[in-house]
Structure 1
Amino acid sequence: MSVLPDPGASRAVLIGTSRYRHLEQLPAVSNNLRAFAGLLTSPVSLHLPAQHVRVVENPAAGQSAVEAVRQAAAEATDTLIVYFAGHGSVDADALSLALPDTEYGRIETSLPYDWLRRVLLLDSQAERHVVILDCCYSGLALGRMSASPGLADQAAVEGSFLLAAAAETRTALAPVGDTYTAFTGALLDTLRHGIPGGPILLDLAALCQYLRRTLEATGHPVPQARDRNSGSKVALGRNHASLPAPPAALSPGTVSGERPWPDPGAVRTVTGFFTALADVRVISGLTHQAVGERSAGGISAGAVSRLLNRTTLPTTWGTAAYLAACGVPDGQIVRWQALWEHLGAQPATAEEATARPAPPARAGSGRTRLWPRSWPVFGRERG
């Protein structure tokens, strides 16, 4: 079954090189990074907290990129996303990523992909890994990229899904003057607008199939993928082309159990709790005002807004009125309450503790309480 990662227990590291001293420039990579990072932190996609998305652009040395991945690997317990955009090559059967000072024939100036792969294999606490490679070859002609044989197999990590921009024998495109590289641009557009007639969740299997079909239809290179241990079931967002219509015909208090409600069982953190609660309203198709009206006085529109903007758990269980007004069935509301009780019994994380407001001072106390021949490029964006 497809699953949306818990944003509180997931991390993303987006690495890219757009400026080079010795290789062709790739200005679209900078746009890729900004767009992808923005998308991952928005409700359109995973709604990751901004501090959970690390962008490493034009790293002076491979160490900074490796360290960013290592830190994220130590923090993520749900899903870790690693994205690279820039020149790359397969040299002596090993994949290398180009840095600003990379030179042809000088392996020591690049970042061996195996360094990142070892971090995922040995240091990661995450259950799932997503690796996205938008690999480009700029030595042949401006804006053209090629993937060397064995790219996907070299990059594969157990328990992961690898999505590469082109087949092993095809070139990928970075069209001159375009905002994004061809592959990343298509990926961003799909996440933003969805797949007409597609599944409820945009998991990696559905994304790869759709990208292959649409890019091939426009004469672009066809992406390739490798799946390890059902990594293809990780979703990068909901399908915004297939969201249910608002239940306009339903009277207040009427519920609909056929909607694709978020699964409380997939939530592990307080951040994930509130993200899933907000997702409930999106799936319901109702505005804050409509939720209040359907609750028959159980919760006001203002209270809905305050609930969905909280960062700490309510001390009492009053969320049932919101869930019922959105149309969540009683049996699922019971599971939501069990989740609330479970999270409330867990020790607060450092982030949650920081987010908690200081308790009021007691009266009078005075106290307040990120080559040689072919350069694969990995893609990533931010919006």
Structure 2
Amino acid sequence: MSALPDPGASRAVLVGTSRYHHLEQLPAVANNLHALAALLRGPLLLQLPDQHVTVLEEPETAHAVVGAVRRAAGEATDTLILYFAGHGLVDDQDELSLGLPQSEAGCIETALPYNWLRQALLRDSRAERHVVILDCCYSGRALGRMSGETGLADHAVVEGSFLLAAAAETRTASAPVGSTYTAFTGALLETLREGIPGGPALLELGAVYRHLRVTLEARGRPVPQARDRNSGAGLALGRNHAYLPAVPAAAAAPRDVGGGAGERLWPDPGAIRTGTGFVTALAQVRVVSGLTQQAVSVRSGGRISASTVSRLLNRDTLPARWQTTGVYLATCGVPDEQVTRWRAVWERLRTETASAEPAVGRPVRAEPGKRTLRERAFPLARRGRGH
């Protein structure tokens, strides 16, 4: 079953090396990083909060990369996305390493062993799902050639993940000279932005992989590889923008949720874990409905205004009251049984938020004979200003 990650419980680490001291330069990699980060943060895809997307451009040490992955792995409870673009190196044992600015061909100790990242994911990750995307080459040529002996995906697969990798066989260059992006990431960005005509409602990783194979092969580029562990192919990176319904829910039959062209895949409230995810999913409901904010207001019979809808979908925290949310969902055409599930999630998150909030306004009492933190920091506070 396809699922969208909860942005509040997910993290992404994007790593790229475009400038090398000893290997050929890959200038398109820098563009890869910034474009993918913007998509992951933006409304077209997951809408990850800015602080949930870590971009490491030209990392000088393996420690910096592993540390960032370990931190994200410890924070994410839903989905962790790891992306690397740059040169790839393979040692005599056919182990994959990722190129850093100081990396040298034939000197594998100057690169980052991929196994270090794999171990960090396996040992330190709290995330239920992992997405690993590798756009790298094995040789030191500017546009890169891949080794045909062992597939990149075979080196990099992680349990409980979906691995999507640029082609490993010896083929033509991985990116045309002067291109804005590398061939693989360029096609990936295009797919995420424009969608897959005739594809599923959500951009499931399995469908993205199949579309990339067809697209890149038609362009004469290396064909990507993929590995799926524990049904990772059903994880989605966003909605398929080539699939959006042409007929708004308001014009369709009441509660039109299935069958033919009118089928609508509403966000699953069961996948929501955080307040951020709740609000993001609310916004997705309007997109799936095909209604504008003004149309939602009109269809509600004036119970909620367009400005109220806007405030509901652009807030940073969980809605304080259920009534407006319930009217909004019903007006958009969400089935009654799903609205009930939405309310259960809202109540759960409301309880969790309340229990997590620290007591406000309560004086902090020190144990007998002990000074409070303020008294230790300001020893004259209790005696006035030195008098």
Shared fold (TM-score greater than 0.5)?
Answer: yes
**1:138 to partner: Cα distance:** 5.5
Farther off after superposition, 302-311 or 160-169: 160-169
Match of 1:365 in 2: none
Q: Aligned partners of 1:249, 1:320: CA distance in 2, in Å?
A: 17
Match of 2:16 in 1: 16
**1:83 to partner: Cα distance:** 0.4
Match of 1:106 in 2: 107
Match of 2:333 in 1: 327
Q: Aligned partners of 1:292, 1:299: CA distance in 2, in Å?
A: 5
The SS at the match of 1:145 is: coil
The SS at the match of 2:346 is: helix
Match of 2:194 in 1: 193
Taking a change above 3 Å as real, the CA distance of residues 294 and 147 of structure 1, as seen in their structure-2 partners, is farther
The SS at the match of 1:297 is: coil
Farther off after superposition, 96-105 or 288-297: 96-105
Match of 1:4 in 2: 4
Match of 1:267 in 2: 272
Tell me the matched-pair count.
352
Match of 2:87 in 1: 87
Higher Rg of the two aligned structures:
2
2:249 and 2:333 in contact (8 A); partners too: no
Match of 2:291 in 1: 286
1:136 and 1:171 in contact (8 A); partners too: no
1:90 and 1:151 in contact (8 A); partners too: no
Match of 1:371 in 2: none
Instruction: Report Cα offsets for 1:254-295 as digits up to 9, x if no partner.
Output: 442332110101111111000000000011111111110000
| Larger RCO (CA within 8 A; separation ≥ 6) | 1
Instruction: Report Cα offsets for 1:112-144 as digits up to 9, x if no partner.
Output: 11110100111100111110011125534x323
**1:4 to partner: Cα distance:** 0.6
Farther off after superposition, 94-103 or 240-249: 240-249
Q: Aligned partners of 2:109, 2:355: CA distance in 1, in Å?
A: 40
Query: Does 2:36 match 1:31?
Result: no
Q: Which amino acid aligns with 1:175?
A: P
Taking a change above 3 Å as real, the CA distance of residues 139 and 316 of structure 1, as seen in their structure-2 partners, is closer
Q: Aligned partners of 1:209, 1:137: CA distance in 2, in Å?
A: 23
Q: Which amino acid aligns with 2:352?
A: Q
Aligned with 1:311 (options 309, 312, 316): 316
Instruction: Report Cα offsets for 1:144-179 as digits up to 9, x if no partner.
Output: 331451421221110011111104454551211000
Instruction: Report Cα offsets for 1:222-247 as digits up to 9, x if no partner.
Output: 10111111111111111000111242
Q: Aligned partners of 1:263, 1:349: CA distance in 2, in Å?
A: 25
1:24 and 1:138 in contact (8 A); partners too: no
Match of 1:242 in 2: 243
Give the TM-score normalised by the residue count of structure 1: 0.88
Match of 2:210 in 1: 209
Q: Aligned partners of 1:236, 1:246: CA distance in 2, in Å?
A: 24
Give the TM-score normalised by the residue count of structure 2: 0.87
Match of 1:337 in 2: 343
The SS at the match of 1:132 is: strand
Farther off after superposition, 169-178 or 152-161: 169-178
RMSD across aligned positions (CA): 2.0
Taking a change above 3 Å as real, the CA distance of residues 349 and 145 of structure 1, as seen in their structure-2 partners, is farther
Match of 1:68 in 2: 68
Instruction: Report Cα offsets for 1:67-97 as digits up to 9, x if no partner.
Output: 0000000000111000000001111221111
2:130 and 2:161 in contact (8 A); partners too: yes
The SS at the match of 1:339 is: helix
Gap runs ≥5 in structure 1: 360-383
2:17 and 2:85 in contact (8 A); partners too: yes
The SS at the match of 1:144 is: coil
